[in-house]
């Protein structure tokens, strides 16, 4: 395997991805990410100099509209899906001391 | 009309029978629910079945049909919807634990279009979790079995939709296709499946996986049904900024049994190493049949095919890592208990809520987008995507459509694919470039292998050329039935 994923890298990726991995999961993730990157490295066989990155197949532009409410007040129904709510607001765990 | 006869009808034939008063929307729904009762314990096509409301809604639609308010070809026809399409008031899980209790307050535009046309929801179909997988085995809610042989997978990620159509547990279904997720399960289950040109069907209300690749499309029993469904779901939608205004969405006009003079390119790259000889034979036989009916066949080299999978998995994982950030346990879905503080709650919720394949792709996506790797991986993949698009552009200067297999093999056995994800990814080789290039592609049944497992013929068109695909697919379907 050409790509060796270090403990630090997998730790960092866990922070970016907001995932908490067990020791076993970390080892599996290191291995599978290394394999995937080895495979993705195949793209380096191609000379892409001068090729513009294509994010969308068709030209896309911002679609603007007036800032008007068209779907009514759905806060009550929306909050029904919330794991925790109070006084028409989402309840979250303590964010700072 | 008796139940068996009813269930053998295509969606459009059922719609016509309802209109003619030979049966009713309620009878059709009762037949489907009975079929579900008999078969669902074996196949498990659905995550949610709308047993109660389906009959009431069918009765309401029947009233509108009789009053002359609903006159379209799908009025009164029972439909199954993939569980990543939001349906107002109906559980929508994406086959994930993290959305185990999510009840949308709005419906996806594609489903709204169907409802407006009088189609009636049977239920929500099983899928790979967040559409990440090729077998429907990554679902949190258990596997779906292939109705053609329950020891085998139905394909994925729209496996529940394809299986429900094949098992007669609905008359047609919607799926989504990010790298082959409509066409491949259609092929494995022996039904018709189409991924339209990117932007043809609104993605509003589709829970996003790879936004630049995702497209909603039909899974049906016949090409005629496919055209009729696509005609209904295609619409310009201001709520999806990538939605395209098209004037040519009268797709049923292309149901013409004639391919005289149609130029069909056969890419040698799709027939190389790894292709099952029986699949190859069936697909080439289908090509011959089109030739006998007037099409002009030519082999050519498409090029770059082997680079599509690494480019795809880089781009799809990157977009997934961003799209799936919204699942954080705050506004909807699962929230982990006993978390100290907000940040730990996010981490615990996501770690407990997502399955292994989803985590794998989120991590890969986070990595390729991270500072220091963004250019080397993500931008590189976008450059390769541009090259792949150009290769197709060049091919479509010479051909009306491209013909090949949908997948290198028929449906694998249950339990064989997840052991080696890399191998599973390689199975997407024939479908994935279509998504990268935004093209339309259709899968049509073209026989079975020696074990009786269905084989799919894939036709790929240039952007906005669905009508050519429908015409070729319809011709093949009709002449192969005559043969």
B450: distance to nearest CA of chain A, Å?
33
By percentage, how much of chain B surpasses pLDDT 70? 100
Burial of A90 (0-12, 13-18, 19+ CB in 10 A): middle
CB contact under 8 A, A56 and B328: no
Average pLDDT over residues B97-102: 98
Judge contact between B28 and B57, C-beta under 8 A: no
Taking 3-state DSSP, the helix, strand and coil percentages for chain B, each rounded to the nearest 5, stand at 45, 15, 40
Cβ contacts from A onto B, under 8 A: 160
Nearest by Cα to B11 from B121, B116, B154, B165: B165
With contacts defined as CB-CB under 8 Å, which chain A residues touch B422? 35-36, 39
Query: Which chain A residues contact residue B325 at CB under 8 A?
Result: 18
Contact A83 B360 (CB under 8 A): no
pLDDT at B423: 87
**B-contacting residues of A 11-40, CB under 8 Å?**
12-14, 16-21, 25, 29, 32-33, 35-37, 39-40
Residue A72 token pair: 């009514």
Note whether A43 contacts B380, CB cutoff 8 Å: yes
Cα A14–Cα A15–Cα A16 angle in degrees, nearest 5:
90
**Averaged pLDDT of chain B:** 97
Q: Output the pLDDT for position B457.
A: 98
Annotation marks residue B235 as catalytic? no
Interface test with A, best of B310, B314, B334, B337 (most A CBs within 10 A): B310
Q: pLDDT for B16-71, tens place per residue?
A: 999 999 999 999 999 999 999 999 999 999 999 999 899 999 999 999 999 999 99
| Residue of B107, B134, B176, B181 marked catalytic | B181
**CA closest to B362 among chain A residues:** A17
Predicted pLDDT at B199: 97
How far is the alpha carbon of A57 from chain B, nearest alpha carbon, in Å? 6
Cβ pair B372, B352 in contact under 8 A? no
Instruction: Based on the residue annotation, tell me whether B480 is a catalytic residue of this protein.
Output: no
* Residue B432, pLDDT above cutoff 70: yes
pLDDT digits (tens, 9 = 90+) for A43-65: 999 999 999 999 989 887 788 88
Residue A97 pLDDT greater than 80, yes or no: no
Residue boundaries of the structural domains of chain A: 7-45
Mean pLDDT computed over B281-287: 98
Of B302, B257, B267, the C-alpha closest to B287 is B267
Residue A2 contacts B, CB cutoff 8 Å: no
pLDDT for A1 equals 65
Question: Closest residue of A to B435, CA-based?
Answer: A57
Which residues on adjacent β-strands are paired with residue B81? B124, B174
Q: What are phi and psi of A52, to 5 degrees?
A: -75, 135
Among residues B10, B57, B82, B139, which one is catalytic? B82
Q: Name the token pair of B75.
A: 């009025």
Q: What is the pLDDT of residues A70-80, one digit of tens each?
A: 888 889 999 99
**pLDDT computed for residue B437 by the predictor:** 98
Mean pLDDT on B411-427:
92
Q: Which of B81, B58, B113 is nearest to B230 (CA)?
A: B113
Q: Six-digit token pair at B226?
A: 């496919």
- pLDDT computed for residue B260 by the predictor: 98
Q: What are the pLDDT digits (tens) for B349-400?
A: 999 999 999 999 999 999 999 999 999 999 999 999 999 999 999 999 999 9
Distance from CA of A50 to the nearest CA of B (A): 9
| Cβ atoms within 10 Å, residue B426 | 15
The pLDDT assigned to B69 comes to: 98
Is residue B181 among the annotated active site residues? yes
CB-side neighbour CA atoms (13 Å) of B181: 29
Report CB contact under 8 Å: A57, B198: yes
Which is the catalytic residue, given B96, B108, B134, B157? B157
- 3-class secondary structure, B313: helix
Give percent of chain A with pLDDT exceeding 90.
70
Mutate to test the interface with B, among A43, A62, A66, A86 (most CBs of B within 10 A): A43
pLDDT category of residue B93 using cuts at 50, 70 and 90: very high
According to the model, what pLDDT value does residue B276 have? 97
Q: What per-residue confidence (pLDDT) applies to A96?
A: 78
The DSSP 8-state label assigned to residue B97 in this structure reads G
Subunit contact B364:A35, Cβ cutoff 8 A? no
Least confident of A64-68, B35-39, B146-150, B335-339: A64-68
Predicted TM-score (pTM) of this structure: 0.97
Residue of chain A minimizing CA distance to B242:
A60
Pick the CATH number of A7-45 from 2.60.40, 1.10.8, 1.10.20, 1.20.120: 1.10.20
CATH topology of domain B3-253: Amidase signature (AS) enzymes (3.90.1300)
CB hemisphere CA count around B133 (13 angstroms) = 35
Are residues B105 and A51, on separate chains, in Cβ contact within 8 Å? no
Q: Which residues contact A25 (CB under 8 A, 6 or more apart)?
A: B359
**β-pairing verdict for B120-125 and B46-49:** antiparallel
Residue B242: predicted pLDDT: 94
A84 contact B CB<8A? yes
The complex's ipTM works out to 0.95
Is residue B168 predicted with pLDDT exceeding 70?
Answer: yes
């Amino acid at each position: 395997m050409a790509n060796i994923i270090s403990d630090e890298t997998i730790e960092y990726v866990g922070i970016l991805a907001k995932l908490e991995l067990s020791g076993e999961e970390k080892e599996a993730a290191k291995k599978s990410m290394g394999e995937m990157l080895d495979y993705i490295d195949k793209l380096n066989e191609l000379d892409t100099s001068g090729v513009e990155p294509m994010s969308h197949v068709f030209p896309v532009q911002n679609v603007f509209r007036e800032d008007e409410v068209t779907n009514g007040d759905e806060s009550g129904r929306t909050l029904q899906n919330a794991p925790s709510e109070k006084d028409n607001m989402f309840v979250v765990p303590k964010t700072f001391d | 009309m008796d139940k068996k006869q009813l269930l053998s009808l295509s969606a459009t034939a059922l719609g016509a029978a309802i209109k003619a008063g030979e049966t009713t929307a309620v009878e059709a729904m009762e037949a489907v629910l009975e079929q579900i009762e008999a078969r669902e314990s074996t196949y498990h096509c659905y995550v949610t079945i709308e047993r109660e409301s389906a009959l009431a809604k069918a009765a309401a639609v029947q009233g509108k049909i009789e009053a002359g308010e609903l006159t379209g070809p799908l009025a009164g026809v029972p439909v199954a919807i993939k569980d990543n399409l939001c349906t107002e008031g109906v559980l929508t899980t994406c086959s994930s634990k993290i959305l185990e209790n999510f009840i949308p307050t709005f419906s996806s535009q594609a489903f709204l279009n169907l409802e407006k046309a009088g189609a009636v929801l049977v239920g929500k179909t099983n899928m790979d979790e967040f559409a990440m997988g090729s077998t429907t085995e990554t679902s949190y809610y258990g596997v779906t079995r292939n109705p053609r042989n329950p020891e085998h997978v139905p394909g994925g990620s729209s496996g529940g939709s394809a299986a429900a159509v094949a098992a007669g547990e609905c008359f047609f279904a919607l799926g989504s296709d990010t790298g082959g997720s409509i066409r491949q399960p259609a092929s494995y289950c022996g039904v018709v499946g189409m991924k339209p040109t990117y932007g043809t069907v609104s993605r509003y209300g589709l829970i996003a996986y790879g936004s630049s690749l995702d497209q909603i499309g039909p899974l049906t029993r016949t090409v005629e049904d496919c055209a009729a469904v696509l005609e209904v779901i295609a619409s310009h939608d201001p709520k999806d900024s990538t939605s395209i205004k098209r004037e040519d969405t009268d797709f049923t006009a292309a149901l013409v049994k004639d391919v005289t003079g149609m130029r069909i390119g056969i890419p040698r790259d799709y027939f190389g190493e790894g292709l099952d000889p029986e699949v190859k034979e069936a697909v080439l036989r289908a090509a011959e049949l089109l030739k006998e009916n007037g099409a002009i066949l030519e082999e050519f080299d498409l090029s770059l095919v082997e680079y599509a999978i690494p480019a795809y998995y880089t781009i799809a994982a990157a977009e997934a890592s961003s799209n799936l950030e919204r699942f954080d346990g705050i506004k909807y879905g699962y929230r982990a208990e006993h978390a100290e503080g907000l940040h730990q709650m996010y981490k615990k919720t996501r770690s407990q809520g997502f399955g292994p394949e989803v985590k794998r792709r989120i991590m890969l996506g986070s990595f390729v987008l991270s500072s220091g790797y963004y250019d080397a991986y993500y931008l590189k993949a976008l450059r390769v995507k541009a090259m792949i698009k150009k290769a197709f552009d060049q091919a479509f200067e010479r051909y009306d459509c491209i013909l090949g297999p949908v997948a290198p093999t028929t449906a694998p056995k249950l339990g064989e694919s997840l052991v080696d994800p890399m191998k599973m990814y390689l199975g997407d080789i024939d479908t994935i470039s279509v998504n990268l290039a935004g093209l339309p592609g259709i899968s049509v049944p073209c026989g079975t292998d020696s074990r009786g497992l269905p084989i799919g013929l894939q036709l790929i068109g240039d952007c906005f050329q669905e009508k050519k695909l429908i015409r070729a697919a319809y011709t093949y379907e009709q002449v192969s039935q005559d043969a």
